[in-house]
Amino acid sequence: MRHCVAMYDQACYRGHSAIVSLREASGAVRSTAELRLVEESSMRVAVEQHRSAENGAPDSACARALETLVRHLNAGDAEPLLRARSLFQRQHRERQHREQRVRRGQAHEAAWRLTGSSLDRFAA
């Protein structure tokens, strides 16, 4: 579709966004949308952006289809599913942060070993 959806792969990986593709019955892509979970008094899905080919505006049929999808996702009976998705996203982000801290810590330890430095030297 030659648009910027590829720039959002990290947002999807981190659990901040979901990308949906609106297609013809034949499978041909008509438009792409970025959705985000918003936690207020209740969970809801919000459209962050909706684009067609080359970042153009989607036609009215695609806009209506996306509105229908979002309305369905925001119906009260979908809230447990949205809450489960939110919990998954939060746990995924926490796991990533822990892994980053471990990697940073390992990098510091390796730097200390490479320089021959030790905190013990500075202990009096």
Q: Quick check: is 15 in a domain?
A: yes
- Alpha-carbon gap, residue 53 to 83, rounded angstroms: 32
Candidates 7, 13, 3; CA nearest to 93 is 13
The domain in which residue 28 lies consists of 4-114
How high is the mean pLDDT of the chain?
Answer: 80
Q: Is residue 119 part of a domain?
A: no
User: For residue 122, is it within any domain?
Assistant: no
Residue 123 covered by a domain: no
What does DSSP assign to residue 59? P
- Residue 121 domain-assigned (yes or no): no
**Number of domains the chain is built from:** 1
41 — phi, psi (to 5°)? Answer: -65, -25
Place of tokens 């796991």: 95
Tokens of 14: 């981190």
* Calpha distance 122→82 (Å, rounded): 52
pLDDT digits (tens, 9 = 90+) for 50-76: 999 888 999 999 999 999 999 999 987
The predicted model scores a pTM of 0.67
Please give the pLDDT value at position 60: 95
74 in a structural domain: yes
The residue length of the chain stands at 124
> Does residue 124 fall inside a structural domain?
no
Give the tens place of pLDDT for each residue, 5-34: 667 777 777 667 888 999 999 999 999 999
The CATH number for 103's domain is 3.40.630
**Token pair for 46:** 């919000």
pLDDT per residue as tens digits for the range 77-108: 888 888 888 888 888 878 887 777 777 776 66
b/e 70-104 (16+ beta carbons within 10 angstroms → b)? beebbeeeeeeebeebeeebeeeeeeeeeeeeeee
* Residue 48 resides in a domain: yes
